[in-house]
Chain A
Amino acid sequence: MSAATLSPMERLPAPPPSSPSLAVAPVAAMSAPAADLPPSRPIIDIDHVDFFYGQSQALHDVSLRLDEKKVTAFIGPSGCGKSTLLRCLNRMNDLIDGARVAKGSIRIRGIDIHAPAVDVIELRKRVGMVFQKSNPFPKSIYENITYGLRLQGVKDKGRLDAVVEKSLRGAALWDEVKDRLHASGLGLSGGQQQRLCIARAIAVEPDIILMDEPCSALDPISTSKVEELIHELKKEFTIVIVTHNMQQAARCSDQTAFFYLGRLIEFAATRTIFMNPSNPQTEAYVSGRFG
């Protein structure tokens, strides 16, 4: 291959091939700013994962540990595999033909989620998800939120009412919609719809909430509301957020993982990633030189 056709991958220093530096280094990096972050234990343990869509490999040997009740941001240019990894965490990739984890394992609370004994339905109850495009069901707000609970067989009206209020308050939507709980969820504005989806996700009380570019379709005001919400939510939930917007990652996450071409380049506390990245690729990306 001639020098003129060098891919960015080759121009930039390749990520360390062996796992110890990656798997351990982030932990070390994370423990370094222990002074400003409360100590916590890992809830998600991604271990040397190779992921394929049919023949094409989307993730190369990714290892990561995410902490409980923290916000972790996945950043990186389009097609770098961040969404793929996110969708691995609650096995939404199962729905795609030919998608598979070829190597490695993902453990949540120590349990390999791809093990045959794991019930994917139960897994998804524990690991909620908010999508890029807000997708409220064409039902009333009330029914949108109670959907998950009703699936679990909860019929008690009092309890459902309580959950609706709690979830809507949790999603900072209660005051805006409390008078029209039985109006269609499709009648809300874009930002409200997305918060409704978040309320819907937290109504089933998951441990982890995955957010796949939740603000990419929202205007700045709605975005800031959702970001505030994320801040509130991390008191109770572990949050993993995929974002294109580096300011957003800087504003609302505790730890940040930078992906590039299907590889994890760097994983550290958000401040470290943005102020003092150890990898030149990361620096190039966060300073806006490519991506």
Chain B
Amino acid sequence: MASTRIPPSPETQADATPAATSAGFLANKARFRFFGLTLDGCIKAFFGGNAVVAVLVLTLITIFLFKEGGGFFAQNRANLQIYRQAGLEYVDFIRAQTTGHTALTHELSDLRLRQFHRLTEAGKSLAEANAALAGFDEFANQFGDAIIPLRGLLSDLTETATALKSKFATTENLKIARQQLLAAGKTAEADKIVISEVNFDAELKPLLGTLPAYQAASAETAAKITAALTVKPALPTPELQARLEQFKMLAAAYVADFPAVEKNLRAWDYRQPVPFFRSITSFIFGRDWIAQSSWQEWYGILPLFVGSLMVSFVALLFAVPLGIGAAIYINQLASPAEQRIVKPCIEFISAIPSVVLGFFGVIFLGENLRLLSQQSWLAWVPGFPFSERLNILTAGCLLALIAVPTIFTLAEDSLNNVPRAFKEASFALGASRLQTIIKVIVPASLSGIISAVLLGLGRVIGETMVVLLCAGNRIAIPDFTAGLAVITQPVHTMTGLIAQEMGEVPVGSIGRHALFMIGLVLFFLSLLINWLAQKIVRRYRIAID
């Protein structure tokens, strides 16, 4: 070691040689070494290794979500493929036709209900009201019965297609079993498994052969509906009369659409391959999430996504004004004693576990909100009264309580960071407290407040237990035609669905992969929100400098 010593400069050499030993700070001590690292180096490497854990976890989350969710699109494509090959798609063309009819009959029964109310309110007895509606009922029945020929055909076809699909599934299962046996080296047993490939061409013959029958049934239905529409029942008020006229127009348009359906049926070809992007678009834009169905499974994230957004939106609607208002009050207006007491109280709310809030919603808030909504003096509130106690509003109120502490704490922090000088300067110019707050303090901390709101959104959109327990868990896009009343409808959310179905889907099934896909969407959504919040805060810092 001593040989590595740098020779001292000539003028000090004479002194240096005897002194070198007494200097003694050369690394001539045999220090412990491990893979060429000193003890301190090892310790540093150890701590450094731990610091990487955060990066590692983030990477692993990404990897495992992709690993478990990655197979989804291929499986979904196969799922869509068999939907076509087994003729389910064909049958669904006809089914859509009958569904359209059902929607129209719902409209009719609603009309009847209103007339009935009108009549009973006018003082007629039930029997009298029913008698008065006889004409309308006849019309409605005629319209309702018109679909019978088509419906009969549909149920036959449904059976055929389902049988074909299950036959295909059996074959696929046999193939897998055989491959497993082959992989295990049991060739003899594998050979015993007889696989008869499904001949779609032959199997679909009877299905496609029903086209003339369909044409006949369709024509019959169309004729009956047209005949029914000629009847003109008289309705008690012009308002309802107008609705009936509108109904008739809708019905006429519905019948006019029949040829298009037939055209679809004619053009339909089971051999047409399902392109891969359909698998992706049907996930992103699909309006149905139907898992484990005997007919066809659909995995469209749209209703869940909309549900999550709606719930979060309602939550922020409450939480943002409250959280920011409280932050301004505590930071700018409250006395020190008030600050000392109220601040921990609000922070304390964040300690309430979400499952307890969810429980509170199920057992108390939901029912009481419903009762409140039925008070007549609150009837002006959109959506009131409602009958479903678990809905967007219930979940939103509770989520607001979760978001408030986050928004409050972060907004208060950013208000705190506004230099005192700003405030003093504003006061010195004769501004009042409110003016100072609105014109100086809030603008100066605006980006901090915005990022607080964003992080509150992140908190709310990723929240599971409250929405699982309180959002109503109905997988459907809420009916936006109801206007603001939409917030009293039940929805299902991305987080809630994962929590609900994870325990029920078998390993390797498309359903499980679909859930992990939702997880991926959530994961990247949260990263996006975080990134936005950070970006906004960073811009703000530069602006202050």
Contact = CB atoms under 8 A, between A and B. Distances in A.
Interface in A42-79: 42, 45, 47
Contacts of A113: 25
A120 to B, nearest CB: 8
Contact of A111 (B1, B6, B31): B6
A107 B24 CA distance: 13
B8 A122 contact: no
Contact of A126 (B4, B24, B31): B24
A113 B22 CA distance: 14
Contact of B26 (A45, A107, A118, A207): A118
Nearest to B19: A109
Nearest to B12: A110
B8 A110 contact: yes
B26 A111 contact: yes
Contacts of B17: 110
B12 to A, nearest CB: 5
A125 interface: yes
Given A107-B12, A110-B13, A122 B24 contact: yes
A45 B27 contact: no
Contacts, number: 69
Interface string B220-235: 0000000000000000
B29 interface: yes
Nearest to A108: B23
B417 to A, nearest CB: 25
Interface string A206-235: 010000000000000000000000000000
Contacts of B20: 109-111
Contacts of A125: 25
Interface in B1-54: 1, 4-6, 8-9, 12-13, 15-17, 19-20, 22-29, 31
Contacts of B8: 107, 110-112
A122 B30 CA distance: 13
A119 B23 CA distance: 11
A125 B25 CA distance: 8
Interface in A146-190: none
Interface in A103-131: 107-113, 115-119, 122-123, 125-126
A122 B26 contact: yes
Contacts of A117: 1, 4-5, 26-28
A45 B9 contact: yes
Nearest to A23: B11
B6 A47 contact: no
A289 interface: no
A11 interface: no
A13 to B, nearest CB: 28
Contacts of A112: 6, 8
Interface centre among A47, A108, A117 (most CB of B within 10 A): A117
A116 B28 CA distance: 12
B446 to A, nearest CB: 33
A209 to B, nearest CB: 15
Given A107-B8, A115-B4, A117-B5, A42 B15 contact: yes
A108 B6 CA distance: 12
B170 to A, nearest CB: 68
A42 B29 contact: no
Nearest to B23: A109
Contacts of A107: 8-9, 12, 16
A28 B5 CA distance: 29
Nearest to B2: A117
Contacts of A45: 9, 12
Contacts of A115: 4-6
A59 B261 CA distance: 87
22 contacts: A45-B9, A107-B9, A109-B15, A110-B15, A110-B17, A110-B19, A111-B5, A111-B6, A111-B8, A111-B16, A113-B25, A115-B4, A117-B1, A117-B27, A117-B28, A118-B25, A118-B27, A119-B29, A122-B24, A122-B26, A122-B29, A207-B23
Given A110-B13, A111-B23, A126-B23, 17 more contacts: A107-B9, A107-B12, A107-B16, A108-B25, A110-B12, A111-B5, A111-B6, A111-B26, A115-B6, A117-B28, A118-B26, A118-B27, A119-B26, A122-B24, A122-B26, A123-B25, A207-B22
Interface of B: 1, 4-6, 8-9, 12-13, 15-17, 19-20, 22-29, 31
Q: What are the 4 tightest A-B residue pairs by CB atom distance, in nearest-first order?
A: A110-B16, A122-B25, A110-B8, A119-B27
